[in-house]
Amino acid sequence: KYTKFSISYYWINSVGHRTSIYQRLENAVIPSGKENQTAVISYDHIITSLQNTSSTGTYYCDVKWDDIQITGKGVFVLARDTGYVETSYGWEVLITLTTLFAVLSITATALLLRKRK
């Protein structure tokens, strides 16, 4: 009775809209001598790439038999455009300091030349 079941993957977005991702039917083969025993079978599903930031939401897996449905706890996924980009101010600081020292050098030279006359 429980060897035939369906697995479905779906996600629910921030406004509660459910979107189906993938479904498949399974027919588990029970080895001889293992009847009427609990079996654990792992099934993985990889989400290749998120379309855009609207893919943010909680992703779930359902397993359904004829009279039973079990839903996983879900995994929350936050999709961002570029992710975290570490800001680097190296060139900006170098150019600013070089400009400042150049202005100070020119000013100091002008003052020294003016004082000399």
Question: What is this structure's pTM?
Answer: 0.56
Domain residue spans of the chain: 4-77, 87-116
Average pLDDT over residues 1-13: 86
Percent of the chain at pLDDT > 90 equals 23
Residue 40 host element (H or E): none
Rg of the chain taking only CA atoms, in angstroms: 32
- Chain segment 42-93, per-residue pLDDT in tens: 777 776 666 666 778 899 999 999 889 999 899 988 877 766 667 777 888 8
- The pLDDT value recorded for residue 22 is 86
Q: Residue 64 CB: number of other CB atoms within 10 A?
A: 15
